[in-house]
Amino acid sequence: MSIGEQINSLRKRNSLSQDDFANMFHVSRQTISNWENGKSYPDLEMIIKISNYFKISVDELLKNDTKIVEKIDDEKRKKRKYFILLIVICVIGSALILILYNKYQEE
């Protein structure tokens, strides 16, 4: 069962409309519709909020939905790449500052 189907099932078991569910999590009704129809996915923070609210495990929400697990993994990889790039830029910037400082001290 996809996460969209899980959300749909949770919503219906708790007699909630898409509007009700959307208001609970501060998103639009269209967002809930898109999740349920597989057009988009909730982010990891939202998945945790949903699991906490309904007292089910994140694993239960994600079970059998390989697309969202892959998406979360891709997001982690992208963040890691940006973090490494930021560190490299900081190191290069620091080195340039030291070089310029030393050059200034020599004059």
Instruction: Please list, in sequence order, all residues whose beta carbon lies within 8 angstroms of the beta carbon of residue 62, skipping any fewer than 6 positions away.
Output: 3, 47, 68, 69
Q: Using an 8 Å Cβ cutoff, are 1 and 26 in contact?
A: no
What pLDDT is stored for residue 22 in this prediction? 97
9 residue type, one letter: S
What pLDDT is stored for residue 61 in this prediction? 82
Where are any strands of DSSP class E within 1-107? Answer: none
Per-residue pLDDT reduced to its tens digit, 22-70: 999 999 999 999 999 989 989 889 999 999 999 999 888 887 666 666 6
Average pLDDT, the chain: 88
pTM assigned to the model: 0.60
Burial 34-70 (b: 16+ CB within 10 A, else e): bbbeeeebbeeebbeebbeeeeeeeeebbeebeebee
What pLDDT is stored for residue 2 in this prediction? 83
Per-residue pLDDT reduced to its tens digit, 72-86: 667 778 888 888 999
